[in-house]
Chains A and B, each alone.
Chain A
Amino acid sequence: MTVAPGLDTSGVDRAIRRLDAIRRAPESAPSAAGTFKEWLHFCVRVPGGHVIVNFSLLERRTPGGLAWSDAHLTVLAHRQRWTGFIRSFPGRAVTMSEGGLEVAFGKSTVHWRDGAFRLAVADDGPVALRLDLVPAVMPTVSLGVERALHWVIVPRLRARGTIWIDGERYEVDGAPAYHDHNWGDFAWGTDLAWEWGFVLPEDPACPWSVVFSRILSRGGRQTRKQGTILWRGDRYVRTFNDDEMRVELEGRFRSDDARPLTLPPACSLLVPGRASGVPRALALDAAGVGDELQLRFGTESHARIAIPDDENPFGMVLLNEATGRAAVRGRFAGEEFAFDAPAIVEFVRGG
């Protein structure tokens, strides 16, 4: 692996086992607030597009007070068009052991074993895969306090294996991939939205990786917290925090031809339009202490995941997965860099 020739693989193994372990088993007693959420997220570059896989366990509660753990798998693939599915699993079909990293939702699984994430999506839907994902960097962790969203990031991995999209088979070997793990106690639909994205260069010899995130008020008018994280090779090197960065959203993206894929599909009836808060472009500028970074992202398409609002029984929260190209340039510790690559930015919006 060109980007991380000196990566301490045993250190990565220890860090993944310790930091990336499941925080809460589905059979656990309900949390005090009843709003605990946890998910494992993977994104893999395929020729001409991306595949997203998300194992999610959400504490849910109906307005009638019925509480349960909702385990669902979301799989999205984008090449010329979006395809994918979201599927719920009953408790008897779910393995998710607290403190471990052995997850099974039916026949779809993710395990950490021998220095790699072994990721499998069962072949009973439009997207299936069997991949090994080897970290190219050490994980980075961002822990909040109390009712906060915690975040473990492995921004750059190399993926090897097979992916089937709408019956077409793709072999990947060294494909750029991203993984993160979020958990926390928060309610969808409160005064919360976010924007988050990553850019991985196509050239494996280019050592730079970028992830940014912004926690916003529900309407997106106020920024609560924001940061842009930069890695060089296998090392985290810099975070541009809060006042060091500025983001401008430009225009409103509307797909030309069709409605965006919306999951679960029946939610298309509740959010029938094409626009859902995704900008046409995003411009991020960060600078401080002699370092600087500029990121320009242009949306080319998007899909939507609709999640029931925890507070408003007739509200929805939309997770917009936007694909496009990003151009990144900057300077760190006097070293200049520039690259452009396919990228994914997630725009979360209250419905």
Chain B
Amino acid sequence: MVVDAPGGLTGFARLLQESIAILARESPAHLAATRNALGQTIVRISVAGEAPARLVPGRGHDWVQAAEGPAAVEARLDIATLFEVLDGALTVEQAVRGDRLAISGGVDDLLRGHDALGAWLHGALRCPSFTELLQRMRNQYAAQLGSQDRRNLDERK
């Protein structure tokens, strides 16, 4: 199922927006918890080679912007690292220590981001549409990854 995403979003930004829309539709309580955790904190996630995704929590579910702009928390990583973290092969701590994930921000904002990630994940685990979204994400990026990364992903699917 393709969830409506605002125009102009591509790549990871579009998938992230779709995940927010799924939460809004299938588990609004988790979207509300994610919003409450973030408060006014804006998070920008930059996946290598793509336009940054700027997460601006709001009342509706159009949270993701592709535009540049200020953000209290900044996260930079490549797509292979993102999959390794999602697949449990790498912890966030290992990714940071290994210089594969750069996170910056004030302590309060970082903690808000951490709590929001937890709320989002609890929602993702409970929404039936996330399985398809994750599979589509794997398919979308499989061609972009190197052969070793692709093999690793295939093994963990």
Residue numbers of A with Cβ under 8 A of B are: 60, 62-64, 66, 68, 70, 85, 87-88, 90, 124-126, 166, 259, 261-262, 264-270, 272, 306, 308, 313-314, 316
Contacts and interface: CB of A to CB of B under 8 A. Distances in A.
A259 B92 CA distance: 13
Nearest to A314: B122
Interface in B84-106: 85-89, 91-92
A288 B92 CA distance: 52
Interface stretch (B27-35, B57-65, B73-81): B27-35
Given A64-B28, A125-B157, A265-B156, A308 B126 contact: yes
Interface stretch (B10-18, B40-48, B113-121, B141-149): B113-121
Interface residues of B, number: 30
A88 B135 CA distance: 11
B124 A62 contact: no
A62 B121 contact: no
Contacts of B127: 62, 66
Contact of A314 (B25, B33, B89): B33
B140 to A, nearest CB: 17
B155 interface: yes
- Interchain residue pairs A-B with the least CB separation, the first 9: A265-B88, A268-B88, A63-B29, A62-B27, A265-B87, A88-B131, A314-B122, A308-B125, A126-B155
Given A126-B155, A314-B119, A68 B128 contact: yes
A270 B86 contact: no
B126 A62 contact: yes
B89 A60 contact: no
Contact of B86 (A68, A87, A166, A266): A266
A264 B125 contact: yes
Contacts of B26: 62, 64, 66
Contact of A265 (B89, B117, B119, B126): B89
Contacts of A268: 88, 91
Given A85-B156, A308-B125, A63 B30 contact: yes
A261 B155 CA distance: 14
B92 A60 contact: no
B156 to A, nearest CB: 7
Nearest to A70: B128
A270 B118 contact: yes
B92 A269 contact: yes
Chain A CB within 10 A, most for which of B28, B85, B88, B124: B88
Given A266-B86, A272-B91, A313 B125 contact: no
Contacts of A124: 157
A313 B131 CA distance: 18
Contacts of B156: 85, 126, 265
Nearest to A124: B157
B95 to A, nearest CB: 11
Residue among A126, A266, A270 having the largest count of chain B Cβ atoms under 10 Å: A266
A126 B156 CA distance: 7
Contacts of A266: 86-88, 121, 124-125
Contacts of A316: 122
Nearest to A265: B88
Given A269-B85, A314-B118, 17 more contacts: A62-B27, A63-B126, A66-B26, A66-B127, A87-B157, A88-B128, A126-B156, A265-B156, A266-B87, A266-B88, A266-B121, A266-B124, A267-B88, A270-B118, A272-B91, A313-B29, A313-B30
